Structure 1
Amino acid sequence: MEELICMDRSQRLFEDSRKVLVGGVNSPVRAMKPYPFFVERAEGCRLYDADGRSYIDYCLGYGPLILGHANPAVVDAVAAQLEKGTLYGAPTELEIDFARKIAKHVPSAEMVRFVNTGTEATMGAIRLARGVTGKNRFVKFEGAFHGAHDYVLVKAGSGATTQGVPNSAGIPADTTKNTILAPFNDEEAIERIVEEEDDLACIILEPIIGNIGCVMPKPGYLRFLRKITKEHEVLLIFDEVITGFRLGLGGAQGYYGVKPDITTLGKILGGGLPIGCIASTRDVMEHMAPVGEVYQAGTFNGNPLSMTAGLAAIGELERPGVYEALEKTGGYMRKGLRDISEDLGIDTRVYGVASMYQMYFTGEEVTDYQSALRADKELFLRYQQELLKKGVFLPPSQYECNFISTAHREEDIERTLVEMESALRTVL
C-alpha cells in the first residue's frame, strides 16, 4: 500500500488501465516505457498530465493538430454544432462545403468520399484503383504505414516497426500475395516491377515517409513515379494522411508539383476529430457506389462534427502567412538540432520540411527503410525519455515524425533546443 501511495498518478492509472485495456493503451505506439503519462488537458502547444506536469508537445496527436490543442476557432465551431446534433444518417450542406474546400486546394481532388480514418481511406483507395483498372496487385514501399488493414501491414512503419511487428500475425499469406514491396527512392526497383507485372493496379506511397521518421524523396523521384505510372497505365496514389495540409494547402502534391491519380487525406483534415478522405477526378470517383460498383460505406462518414471541425481548421490555415510562419519555425528547429549535433560532435541526420522533422542518430544518409533501421533507436529512446523529464514531449520512437503547430512560438523552440542539448549531454 505504501508503494502505491508513493507512485505518481500516471503510474497508478497505467496499472488500472492494464486491467481493462490491452497493454494499457488503445494504440500500441502510446505504450511508452516504463509507462505513459496520462493527459488531463491540453492547450496551445502544451499538454498537462494527471500529476500537474506540463510538456511542450511535438507529437500533436501524431500529426493532426497543426493549430495546436483546443484552438478557439475549432472549439467554438464544434460546440455550436453539438447543440444542433452529432449524427443524422442523412446528408448535410456541411459535406458539400467541405468537399468544395478540398477540391479548391488539393490539385488531384475533383470529387471526394469522406471516411473516418486514414486506414479506411487507404483501404478504399486501393479498392478503388483495383475497381478502375480491373487489376489486383499494388506496390507499397518498405517502412511506409498506410493504416492497419491487412493488405498493407507488410514491412509497415510507425508503431508496427516500433513494437517489432512490421508484419502482423493473423494475416493469411494469401491476403498479401498481391502486395509488392519496393525500397523507397529506388528507381530501378520500380522500373523492374512495372515492366514485369501485367496485373498491377497502383503504386501507393507517402510522398514523404513520416512513418519511419521523416524520409524525404530524392530530387526528381516523385516525378519519376508519375512518369512511369502514366507510361504503364498504373494508378498513382499519394497517401497524404500526414502531408495533406501540412506542407501547404495543396499538401505534398502542391509542394512538389506532382499530381497523383488518387489522394488519401486525414489527420489535419479533421481539425482534431476522426476523419479520412479519398479524392480523385470525377471519372475515377464515380466508380464508387452508389454510382459505380466499388463499394464503400460507413455510419459516421461525413459526420457533422468532423465536417465542422475540419472546415474551421482549414479556414484558419487559409489565413495569410500561416504556412510561411510554420516553415520559419520548422527551419529554426532543424537548424538548431544540426548546430547542437555539430557542437557536441555527434553523428545525426536531421530531415524535414515545413512543420515536420526528425533527427536520426546515425552517420549515414537515411533514404529508405533499411537505412532508417540502422539508426540508433535505443539512443533515441533514452533521449526521448530524458526530454520528458525536462517537459518536452516527442513521439516515443525514432520511426515517428515530430510536428510543429501554429501555437509554437519562437520562445518555445528556443527553450526546447536548450533542453534538447541538455538531454543529449546526459544520454551520450
Structure 2
Amino acid sequence: MDRLSKQSRSAELVERAERVMPGGVSSPVRAWKAVGGSPFVVREARGARLVTEDGDELMDFVGSWGPMLLGHAHPAIVEAVREAALGGTSFGATCRREIDLAERVVERVPSVESVRFVSSGTEATMSAVRLARGITGRPLILKFEGCYHGHADEFLIKAGSGPATFGEPTSPGIPAGVAADTRNASFNDPESVRELFAANPGKIAAVILEPVVGNSGCIPPEPGFLEFLREICTREGAVLIFDEVMT
C-alpha cells in the first residue's frame, strides 16, 4: 500500500466532496481516476510547498496551474490583497485599479492594443472565437490536436478522417452541429493547415493554438511555423488567435 492510499483525513474529505460535487472536484483537471492512487486534500501552502490535511508536506510543481509564480502566500502578495480587500472586492462597475492594470498590460506587451478582463481561460477563448466569427462572418474554426483551449463545446472536438470530414465530439453532450464547425490540424504541420483551408474556402473564421503546446507536453513550434500561420491567415482573411494562458 503506497503512502497516498494510507491517508485518512483526506479520504474522509474526498468522500464528503463526492456527495456534493460531481466527481468530488470543481474541475475535471483535478480528478484522479485517470492517474490512479488516492487524492489528497490541501490544507495550506507556503512558498513552493503544500501541506495536506494529513500533515504531509509536498513540493508543488503545479503552482495552481500557472499563476503562483512567486509561490504561495508570498508576503508582498498577501499584503497587496489585504489592502485591496479593505476597499471592497467587487463593484459591478469599472474601478481605477482595473484601468491601471489594463494600461500596464498594454505598455508592457507590444502586440496588445486593448484588454478585456475575464474570469477564466475558457471564457477568453470563447470570446476570441466569437469575435473572429463576428468580424469575418464565417462559421468554422481551425484548431490543433493536442492544444487545450478550455472546456467550451467547440474546443472538445477531435479530428475526422480527412480535411473534408467533420470533427467528432470528445465528450457526451456536444451537438453534432457544433462539431461540424471545428476543424483539426496537426501542430508543426503546415501541409495539414493548407489542406484544411483548401477544403473549406472562405469558411474558416479563425486559427487558434497554443504557441507552445502545454497540454500534451511542452512542444515548441518548429522554426517558421508560427510565421507560416500568420502568413496564411492574412492571405485567407482568417483571424489568428494565440492562446497564451500558459505560455
Q: Structure 1 length as normaliser, TM-score? A: 0.52
Structure 1 letter corresponding to 2:8: D
Q: Report the equivalent of 2:187.
A: 184
- Counterparts of 1:188 and 1:149 in 2: how far apart (Å)? 27
- Counterparts of 1:73 and 1:130 in 2: how far apart (Å)? 42
**8 Å contact from structure 1 (residues 203, 234) kept in 2:** yes
Matched, 1:220 2:224: yes
**8 Å contact from structure 1 (residues 206, 240) kept in 2:** yes
Alignment deviations for residues 52-105 of structure 1 (CA, whole Å, 9 cap, x no partner): 111111111111211111122221111111111111111111111111111112
- Counterparts of 2:152 and 2:31 in 1: how far apart (Å)? 21
Q: 1:19 to 1:104 in 2, by over 3 A?
A: same
Where structure 2 has 5 or more consecutive residues not aligned to the other structure, the ranges are 1-5, 160-168
Structure 1 letter corresponding to 2:68: L
- Counterparts of 1:48 and 1:150 in 2: how far apart (Å)? 35
**8 Å contact from structure 2 (residues 143, 184) kept in 1:** yes
**8 Å contact from structure 1 (residues 141, 182) kept in 2:** yes
- Counterparts of 1:17 and 1:234 in 2: how far apart (Å)? 44
Matched, 1:200 2:204: yes
- Counterparts of 2:7 and 2:95 in 1: how far apart (Å)? 49
- Counterparts of 1:115 and 1:169 in 2: how far apart (Å)? 27
**8 Å contact from structure 1 (residues 14, 24) kept in 2:** yes
What pairs with 1:27-426 in structure 2 (closer than 5 Å)? 27-32=27-32, 33-155=36-158, 167-197=170-200, 198-243=202-247
- Counterparts of 2:7 and 2:190 in 1: how far apart (Å)? 53
Structure 1 letter corresponding to 2:96: E
Q: Report the equivalent of 2:3.
A: none
**8 Å contact from structure 1 (residues 14, 35) kept in 2:** no
Q: Counterpart of 1:113 in 2: which secondary structure?
A: coil
Structure 2 letter corresponding to 1:204: I
**8 Å contact from structure 1 (residues 202, 234) kept in 2:** yes
Q: Report the equivalent of 2:13.
A: 13
Q: Counterpart of 2:14 in 1: which secondary structure?
A: helix
- Counterparts of 1:200 and 1:180 in 2: how far apart (Å)? 9
Structure 1 letter corresponding to 2:110: P
Structure 2 letter corresponding to 1:145: Y
Q: Counterpart of 1:120 in 2: which secondary structure?
A: helix
RCO higher in 1 or 2 (8 Å CA, sep ≥ 6)? 1
Structure 1 letter corresponding to 2:223: P
Q: Counterpart of 1:60 in 2: which secondary structure?
A: coil
Superposition deviation, residue 31 in structure 1: 2.0
**8 Å contact from structure 2 (residues 7, 54) kept in 1:** no
Q: Counterpart of 1:112 in 2: which secondary structure?
A: coil
Superposition deviation, residue 194 in structure 1: 2.1
Alignment deviations for residues 380-423 of structure 1 (CA, whole Å, 9 cap, x no partner): xxxxxxxxxxxxxxxxxxxxxxxxxxxxxxxxxxxxxxxxxxxx
Structure 2 letter corresponding to 1:150: D
**Where is the helix percentage greater, Structure 1 or Structure 2?**
1
Superposition deviation, residue 211 in structure 1: 0.8
Q: How many residues align?
A: 230
- Counterparts of 1:155 and 1:107 in 2: how far apart (Å)? 34
- Counterparts of 1:224 and 1:11 in 2: how far apart (Å)? 50
**8 Å contact from structure 2 (residues 145, 184) kept in 1:** yes
**8 Å contact from structure 2 (residues 106, 112) kept in 1:** yes
Superposition deviation, residue 9 in structure 1: 1.1
Where structure 1 has 5 or more consecutive residues not aligned to the other structure, the ranges are 1-5, 157-165, 244-428
Q: Report the equivalent of 1:315.
A: none
- Counterparts of 2:110 and 2:183 in 1: how far apart (Å)? 27
**8 Å contact from structure 2 (residues 140, 182) kept in 1:** yes
Structure 2 letter corresponding to 1:239: D
Q: Counterpart of 1:61 in 2: which secondary structure?
A: coil
